[in-house]
Structure 1
Amino acid sequence: MKEKKNAKSVGGTPFSKTILKLSTLSLSMLCLSLAHAAETNEEETVKPTKVAKVTVTGSSIKGVSAQSSSPITVIKVEELTKQGVTTTEEALIKISANQAGYSTAQNVGASNTSGSTANLRGLGSDKTLVLLNGRRLAYSPFSTSETNLNTIPLAMVERIEVLRDGASAIYGADAIAGVINFITKKQYTGLGISGGLLKPEDKGGEEYDVSIFGGYGDLDEQGFNVYGAIDYRKAKEIMAKDRKVSRRGGLLPELGIDAGSANGFPANFLDPNGGPLDADGNPEGVLANPYGGAANCNNLTNVTEDGGLCFLNTQALIGIQPETEDLSAIGRATIKLSDNFNAIGEYVYAKSKVTTSIAPDVYSRSVTIPKSSQYYPGEGITPGVDGLSGDPLQLYLRSQAGNRVSQSINESHRIFAGLEGEAYGWDINGGVTYAKGEASDSFVSGYLNRNKLQEGLNDGTINPFGPSADANVWNSLNVSGTTNEATLDSTTFDFTVSRPIYTLPAGDVGFAFGGSFTTQDWEAKVNSELVRLVPGSGIDPDKPLSKGDRDITAAYAELQIPITKTIEAQLAARYDDYSDFGDTFNPKVGIRWEPMKQLMFRSTYSTGFRAPSLWEINAQQSKTYTGAKYNDPVLCPGGNPTSPQYQTECNTQFYRMQGGNPDLQPEESKTFTAGFVYEPIKNLVLAVDYYNIEIEELVGQVGETSIFEDPEKYASLFVRGADGRIEYINTILMNTGGIKTQGIDISLDYLSPLTATGRFGFGINGTYVIKNDYQEEKGGDWEGLVGVYDDPAVLRWKHTANLNWSYENWKIIFEQQFFRGYDDQNQIGKEKFDKHRVPDYTLYNVAGTYSGFKNLEITGGIKNLFAEEPAASNVLDNFQYGYDPRYSDPTGRTFYVRGTYKF
């Protein structure tokens, strides 16, 4: 928000002032602390009220925030930190309109990710626009359409404003689902330090953070202000073995999960030329394990025997929560050029590291053991197996060099220089923004050089069935280094001017217009030499370079028209011209009506347009493993192999082709909202808003689960080799039919009068999804997905509620987070619709703050007070089994303390 002293308000009314005071209470259940509210009210009894003109998220015209016809949620970051919230991802989980985005935990087993993303309305992270001080942040170079929340320096943010309707006419044609605007302080003086520590009750997940901030100069007295802040935080990983919900890995019979991997240790093997001859005189092959059915298989940790083979319980070995390390900094300078103009310079830097750990490196028939090896079955060391041909055996093998450890680094720079002020009655704001995102994925340890592994198998130095003579031989095969890297450079020139242009009987007509020009350049590289050595990485070494660029020219205009003393209209329109997708025109109409002091109605209608991102149209197509394990519908229908040699095609991960598609078409949308704000008594505020969004030509893909659940419908997406086995399934991006969603946002907040025992309050902020219908292909059937898993699930109801109290230097808040259950991904039983039901998930948190010490404020609390276990789920699309990391937190009961000292 951009404030200006001694400025006249635009169209102010008594009700506007009332709602302005209440907006910090009612537009979000995460309201200002009660003590702060008390201080504000006391000041108002002494000082005359001034209503400053501000730039509101969702409008380019300066006014008071309550005037907006769009529904806006306002969150004070200071209050979040007092509840133990230290990351942007965690902050947005508390917003009910934000359905499951991409969580940091989902980086486990994934590559080329955006780290962590927001997902308003469950429409996809690429349709939620994320801003810093009203301007775009750098997109993740691995998606080019999403902002990595881990790179947003929450410690430097004053508040978060969430615009819950389409804002394409104001911020860009792609703001289809809404806008999340992170707003920093405009100026700061003084010096301070803040630090926090979080300690879970169980092992792993410890976190600490420290922030140093300071500023100097008074803009009015000295003509300048400079301030800066630096924030560092680190969180340790959580291993599957250290949590009850995950220590059994993929062996969860009560959830219908039996997900051992045939690629194990001791290795299983296939001799395609062994065994008896079939009716045509061809060998049937031998699929076996030298230790299958023996104690050596069953008694090994995380290894089970099944049908003569040894299966590894890989999910019991992984880190279910990655290690994270974040460094962020901000510097801002404001210089008063004259009484009317300020020059602004701003630099934001962020670096986010995510380190993940998954099961040891895997080789599925890509390495062999020859008859000449001392470890060949029956040669004296390894037990013999009947029917072997003497030819090299194709191995289903796991490395013994420890878990595969990977690291993803997202680094971003954002530089802004601009002017803001007033000339000839016009409010003027403009400048240039340069944003650069750099991302990389790396092998840290546990990835093996396949060629050297094969050499070791050939010369008998490596035993695929047990301990090798040289205990360090596996570690000598390690490969490390950067595998993928990408950069995205974006430069934007923008300006906005606004002023009242005409006076009607009901008030001034506000007008704004502006424009922008943006260039984007994207490039992604694969270290072909390195990844060629590690075929199990799923990275295609034959496509080392992908790149793309585009220019976007935009012009927009907005009017705020007071039709009567109680009715105001907002009219806006935007024209965007994409160098690679043509032009688009998107209007927005809003209306706000105050029939009485205590009641306001509001409604908006807008259209949107999202061109496929540079990654979506230019990214290489490459093979990687499916997230879940499946049965080959031809070679292992229903989990029953048609021949013993096809047992490895049951309950296993297959390759899938992923990547961009140059033939993608743009998405188009329509958004309608309608709601009201009602204050029946002082400080009791009810807000209800309905939304309805439709998107055509939705960019997506046929999910791997859908492909395997209906193999006849998607037969063309199975690509098979000459031996009939699945080489991969095709899941590249495509334009689907579309999506339609509608629901209701509800918030209710109350703040009691000041009493001898303090001030009490409560609040609840929830979203009820009425409909979320998806059409997988044009002209196809619409499928209702509310309360049904569909990667991810769209929850029917989600809310955050609190009870709070303040007295003198004390503040206490008791919070509830609730997630409605849904039909799980997989069925349990033989009936087609015998779905497992993910139960409701409820967390309780408590926090207290004391500020009675000189210059020092201390906060302590407990997250997940009652140690609620994650909601049981049989989802197989993530590496975490037994629960879904997008909805449930395995950390458990966590204690935290935070202190802030200001010099």
Structure 2
Amino acid sequence: MPMRHSSTSSGTSFDPTPFAITTPGIPFRRSTVAIAVLCALVAGSAHAQEASAPATATAPGQASAAPPPPPPPPVVAEAVQEVVITGSQIRGVSAAGSKSVVLDRETLVTTGYNNPIDVLKTVPLVQGLGYGDVPSTAQNGSANVQRGSTISLRGLSSSATLVLIDGRRIAPTGNVTTFTEANQLPVSFIERIDVVADGASAIYGSDAIAGVVNYITRKSYQGVEITPRYTHTNGYDQRGASIVAGHTVKQLGGLGRLSIVAAYDYDKRDSMLQGSTPFARQDLTRFGGLDNRIRTNLATSAAPGNIIVAGTGINPVFPSAGSFTYYGIPAGYGGTGLDGSQLLRNQPNLLDASDYNDLIPETERNQGSLNLNLQIDPKTKLYYQGYYNRSENTSLSLAQPNATLTLPASSPYYIPNVPGLAPGAPQAVSFSFLNHVGRVIPDRGHSLAEGYGNTIGLQRDFENKWRAEAVFSATGTKTCANCIPALNGNIHTQALQAALNDGSFNPFSSTPASSDVLGRFLVEGNDRNRVKMQQASLRFDGPLFALPGGMVRAAVGVESLGLEQWRDSIGIRATSDTVGAYGKRRINAVYGELSVPLVGPENSLPLMQRFSLNLAARSQKYSDVGKTSNPKIGFVWGVNGDLAIRGAAGTSFRAPDLTDANTTFFSSVSTQLIANAAGDPAIPLSNAATRQSYVLRLGGSNPELTPEKAKNFSLGADYKPWFVDGLRLGASVYRIKYENQIIGLQTVANSFLASPTNRAVYAPYITPAAQPAGCVAGDRSTYNPIYAQAYGAPSLSMPDESNACRLTALFIARNTNAASTVQDGVDFDFGYEMDTSYGRFNADVNATKILNNKVRVSPLASEREDLDRINVPVSMRGRAALAWTQGQWNAGLAMNYVGSYLNDLPLTIGGVTQPRVEIDAWKTFDLNLAWRSPAKTGAWGGVRFSLNVQNLFDRDPPVVLSTNNNAAYAFDPQNANVLGRVVTVQMTKAF
């Protein structure tokens, strides 16, 4: 069934009774934020937004007829009290003229997905640039150690999208970088999902730059609903079940009416091996890519191993080896008695790590949720909401060194007379740990993520129709990566090299080394993170006075939020060291909002049946990063009964996370050898042959960060022509000017000296400095003071000072308020409903077209168009759906579209950079079929069967060969997947 989309307006209350069209056995609910049929029903102007039922056509000549009188005030006032609308703090008022998308309960069920992330991926507004199960370099995805999932509206990063539960914040998570885990609730507990694609900091505060995603939970349900499900793909199987139970006690002693809704969901997904799809194997030569089993002087070696010799010219057999020649050690060799003449030139011992590494982890998830609503008396309500989720991931992998290791001539395993190597010179060796630890034990890839929330609220209604609401919530998250310390593949390279130097470890042996030997360099390691957030708020809202256009309504409130975060890491330095981090923050806020209906039924004008304004402002003060104030104004102009125009403008912001600003969470000091084509004599070449220079790089968190800022503007129109019953046309244009963006310069620091232009662009972060003639590596007292001080900075990795005396410049590559983005685009929302003798047909087309996405990576950089390329937004996304309902049956077919874009990060093969390639658009089709029993009771009463198929025609992703993901895949996981056809069957039984 198509998604229910709604372009909502603001400014007038309305009767929120759910609208429905029913056919025998099947209720058909439209978007609850048809809520935004809003003022149309009260004011009598048929505002052209998606209603929950087809609009009644108006005959020619009747468009200007006087609207019917509004419903009796007492009924409206009572109904408005319970309306929850995302984007406003005033009951019964929608987002301030902003574009909204609503996924109602029927839509959630129809998709066949059991988690909200997968549901939201069907919305064109959502770009694939957030975190997910498949690792990705985009948006710092390599830091996603617990395989969390996020939402990125408009591709402006998941940090610019605010995720709420019933309008309330939830605690963030993350070890190296902070994000909000979006899979906090199961679909079974969610009534609907609201997406407001507009800045909303004036309403909710930080993070709502690109928009808001709000999960509205189920507050009432009578009975028990059980839904087992099973999913199959070419890569894994998935099993799960949910149970929802609800009951209303009309009189709980003398306390009043109590409504209870509880849900539990269990899900178990098998792992998906990289080797199960050719797109994720190491050897990608079948696609014209590289054989990544060899990576210049590194390799995924099989036993007994290889000797690697540097040479000149490209290796003709293995272009991925660059100028290195590989000599395979003959099978059966145990470590001694071999001469170099017996080595096998360019016949290395290799294995494909994709046969041992998981692309998607095995995941077991448990989620429990509870809503309690106690109506103490007609004016007093007490409520509680609680949730808990626990996700365990196990991702197995192949343990292998990721550094060049050597055998000295003194080693008993040294092989004499290796071709191309001077006698007695150290030998670069590559070998396998497979014989020693196998496919790394589950502890290596075990991660755990927990989230919980407890909220208690009290509402009190007054005789003047005002309401006071006090809420306290305590939410938190816990995560750990490599949760169980073990000999787990966390390789301490320096200790391993020492074991090779002293002969205690035989790299060519087929006999596993002892645990004592392995324990020298396979160190225990885990990384734990914990976040606690407490929020208290007090809000008042209600009517102020009447205007001819309607009732002026207002909301005012105060909030106080406390945030604490801990990080404890063992072995994070690839040693036995322990790193501890702690940060805290206090935020106090005050806000106000005003809804002003200037024109309504009593004073309508030609071409203006309705006009309302919504004004909002919020001021927040942070204990560590200052304060900010943000206004917003929105309007809805009902031109006539068919056409409405809406718009909004305001400012938004995002405060730096604790992990962004607190150096104890993430900081690094490292010596780097980088390409230098800058032509700056103050930064000489360290290696003239390769045109590279040694630099010292400081990366990680930065305590001097300030909040990001944005200006948002949107203008849209919704049209429901009276002469075509059931037709809906909507479009919006928007513009976001995003400034002071926080970027991790460590991700671009290797290009600081790539050209004279880059040298000028990044000049504020580069300090040329020579080391004195008397410099001694390791003795900081002999260093240039700028380097001596830098080496003493906090670091989560042990800085290698072996080349410290060759340093030419200091790079400040920390998180920095350096970037800016200006994005504008158009959203489309078209729909048509038609009743026939063959059933009801419903067609929807929803699309987003980004027109420009202009980015500056530093204040001195020129503006560039970051659009339709790898790692940046794809300009065109859409979904077209056709649904049919007849009796107990319904069916739907949808096409998902991701537009074409440029691969501007092509591979270099054999020393030749490949041409840029246009990546084809990816089109997939989804199918859903469902049947509901017409019986209300008995064994078949309340039964629903459904079949959902994603990627119906098993469409492969477009081939993408690029340096993105370090050339690890032949596809782009940000814009496609390798799951193939995904089939889900489920049955629901309601009692």
Question: Which range, TM-score by smaller chain?
Answer: 0.7 to 0.9
Which is further off, 119-128 or 252-261?
252-261
Asked whether the equivalents of residues 268 and 288 of structure 1 are also in contact (C-alpha less than 8 Å), the reply is no
Give 1:249 deviation, angstroms.
3.8
1:662 and 2:693 are equivalent in the alignment = no
Output the amino acid matched with 1:426.
W
- Rounded to whole Å, the distance in 2 between the matches of 1:464 and 1:22 is 68
SS of the aligned residue for 1:522 comes to strand
Asked whether the equivalents of residues 322 and 354 of structure 1 are also in contact (C-alpha less than 8 Å), the reply is yes
The match for 2:454 is: 415
The match for 1:545 is: 580
Give 1:193 deviation, angstroms.
1.2
Which is further off, 314-323 or 135-144?
314-323
Give the direction of change, closer, same or farther, for the CA distance of 1:136–1:293 in structure 2 (3 Å limit). Answer: same
Asked whether the equivalents of residues 257 and 874 of structure 1 are also in contact (C-alpha less than 8 Å), the reply is no
- Rounded to whole Å, the distance in 1 between the matches of 2:372 and 2:473 is 15
1:362 and 2:401 are equivalent in the alignment = yes
The match for 2:172 is: 139
The match for 1:197 is: 230
Asked whether the equivalents of residues 749 and 811 of structure 2 are also in contact (C-alpha less than 8 Å), the reply is no
SS of the aligned residue for 1:241 comes to helix
Give 1:55 deviation, angstroms.
2.9
1:57 and 2:101 are equivalent in the alignment = no
- Rounded to whole Å, the distance in 1 between the matches of 2:200 and 2:839 is 41
1:177 and 2:210 are equivalent in the alignment = yes
Asked whether the equivalents of residues 605 and 670 of structure 1 are also in contact (C-alpha less than 8 Å), the reply is yes
- Rounded to whole Å, the distance in 2 between the matches of 1:311 and 1:486 is 37
Give the direction of change, closer, same or farther, for the CA distance of 1:644–1:13 in structure 2 (3 Å limit). Answer: closer
1:291 and 2:328 are equivalent in the alignment = yes
SS of the aligned residue for 2:720 comes to strand
The match for 2:28 is: none
1:748 and 2:830 are equivalent in the alignment = yes
- Rounded to whole Å, the distance in 2 between the matches of 1:581 and 1:209 is 44
Give the direction of change, closer, same or farther, for the CA distance of 1:10–1:49 in structure 2 (3 Å limit). Answer: closer
Matches within 5 A, 1:232-271: 232-247=266-281, 249-251=283-285, 254-255=288-289, 260-261=294-295, 262-264=297-299, 265=301, 267=305
The match for 2:970 is: 882
What CA deviation, in whole Å up to 9, does each residue of 1:453-502 have, x standing for no partner?
56764675743245247699998889586511111111111122111101
Give 1:386 deviation, angstroms.
6.6
Matches within 5 A, 1:273-352: 290-291=327-328, 314=353, 317-352=356-391
The match for 1:35 is: none
Which is further off, 881-890 or 320-329?
320-329
The match for 2:947 is: 860
Asked whether the equivalents of residues 589 and 606 of structure 1 are also in contact (C-alpha less than 8 Å), the reply is yes
The match for 1:515 is: 558
Give the direction of change, closer, same or farther, for the CA distance of 1:645–1:206 in structure 2 (3 Å limit). Answer: farther
Give 1:77 deviation, angstroms.
4.3
Structure 1 vs Structure 2 CA RMSD: 4.3
Output the amino acid matched with 2:466.
W
Give the direction of change, closer, same or farther, for the CA distance of 1:55–1:335 in structure 2 (3 Å limit). Answer: same
What CA deviation, in whole Å up to 9, does each residue of 1:519-575 have, x standing for no partner?
111121211xx345x46xxxxx76712221111111111111111121000011111
The match for 2:445 is: 406
Output the amino acid matched with 1:447.
G
1:814 and 2:843 are equivalent in the alignment = no
Asked whether the equivalents of residues 89 and 116 of structure 1 are also in contact (C-alpha less than 8 Å), the reply is yes
Output the amino acid matched with 2:826.
I
- Rounded to whole Å, the distance in 2 between the matches of 1:517 and 1:416 is 14
Aligned partner of 2:874 among 795, 802, 808: 795
Name the TM-score, length of structure 2 as normaliser.
0.76
Give the direction of change, closer, same or farther, for the CA distance of 1:660–1:893 in structure 2 (3 Å limit). Answer: same
- Rounded to whole Å, the distance in 2 between the matches of 1:862 and 1:896 is 6
Give 1:412 deviation, angstroms.
1.2
1:375 and 2:413 are equivalent in the alignment = yes
What CA deviation, in whole Å up to 9, does each residue of 1:810-853 have, x standing for no partner?
01011111100111142368998941222111111111011124
- Rounded to whole Å, the distance in 2 between the matches of 1:26 and 1:79 is 18
- Rounded to whole Å, the distance in 1 between the matches of 2:584 and 2:853 is 34
The match for 1:117 is: 150
Which is further off, 437-446 or 561-570?
437-446
SS of the aligned residue for 1:886 comes to coil
What CA deviation, in whole Å up to 9, does each residue of 1:248-281 have, x standing for no partner?
5454663578673333325556799x99xxxxxx
Aligned partner of 1:440 among 462, 480, 502: 480
Asked whether the equivalents of residues 211 and 230 of structure 1 are also in contact (C-alpha less than 8 Å), the reply is yes
Give the direction of change, closer, same or farther, for the CA distance of 1:733–1:359 in structure 2 (3 Å limit). Answer: farther
Asked whether the equivalents of residues 660 and 733 of structure 1 are also in contact (C-alpha less than 8 Å), the reply is yes
Give 1:224 deviation, angstroms.
0.6
Which is further off, 687-696 or 423-432?
423-432
Which is further off, 517-526 or 715-724?
715-724
Give the direction of change, closer, same or farther, for the CA distance of 1:597–1:710 in structure 2 (3 Å limit). Answer: farther
1:633 and 2:633 are equivalent in the alignment = no
The match for 1:780 is: 861
- Rounded to whole Å, the distance in 1 between the matches of 2:38 and 2:843 is 32
What CA deviation, in whole Å up to 9, does each residue of 1:278-329 have, x standing for no partner?
xxxxxxxx98755279999xxxxxxx99978777655565322222222111
Give the direction of change, closer, same or farther, for the CA distance of 1:3–1:463 in structure 2 (3 Å limit). Answer: farther
Output the amino acid matched with 2:120.
L
Aligned partner of 1:695 among 704, 719, 738: 738
Give the direction of change, closer, same or farther, for the CA distance of 1:661–1:398 in structure 2 (3 Å limit). Answer: farther
Asked whether the equivalents of residues 714 and 735 of structure 2 are also in contact (C-alpha less than 8 Å), the reply is yes
**Computing the radius of gyration over CA atoms, which structure comes out larger, 1 or 2?**
2
- Rounded to whole Å, the distance in 2 between the matches of 1:496 and 1:735 is 34
SS of the aligned residue for 2:280 comes to coil
Give 1:682 deviation, angstroms.
2.7
Residue identity (%): 23
1:765 and 2:846 are equivalent in the alignment = yes
What CA deviation, in whole Å up to 9, does each residue of 1:17-66 have, x standing for no partner?
85699345899xxxxxxxxxxxxxxxx9xxx999932131111112265x
1:567 and 2:595 are equivalent in the alignment = no
Output the amino acid matched with 2:739.
E
1:602 and 2:646 are equivalent in the alignment = yes
Asked whether the equivalents of residues 699 and 745 of structure 2 are also in contact (C-alpha less than 8 Å), the reply is no
1:208 and 2:226 are equivalent in the alignment = no
Output the amino acid matched with 2:279.
V
Which is further off, 852-861 or 5-14?
5-14
SS of the aligned residue for 1:245 comes to helix
1:838 and 2:919 are equivalent in the alignment = yes
> Number of residue pairs matched?
836
Give the direction of change, closer, same or farther, for the CA distance of 1:318–1:5 in structure 2 (3 Å limit). Answer: closer
- Rounded to whole Å, the distance in 1 between the matches of 2:496 and 2:944 is 58
Give the direction of change, closer, same or farther, for the CA distance of 1:144–1:888 in structure 2 (3 Å limit). Answer: closer
Output the amino acid matched with 1:148.
E
Asked whether the equivalents of residues 141 and 522 of structure 1 are also in contact (C-alpha less than 8 Å), the reply is no
Give the direction of change, closer, same or farther, for the CA distance of 1:893–1:16 in structure 2 (3 Å limit). Answer: farther
- Rounded to whole Å, the distance in 2 between the matches of 1:206 and 1:618 is 41
Question: Tell me, which stretches of 5 or more residues in structure 2 are unaligned?
Answer: 1-7, 19-34, 56-70, 137-141, 313-322, 334-342, 601-609, 680-684, 769-799, 934-939
Output the amino acid matched with 1:506.
G
Output the amino acid matched with 1:208.
R
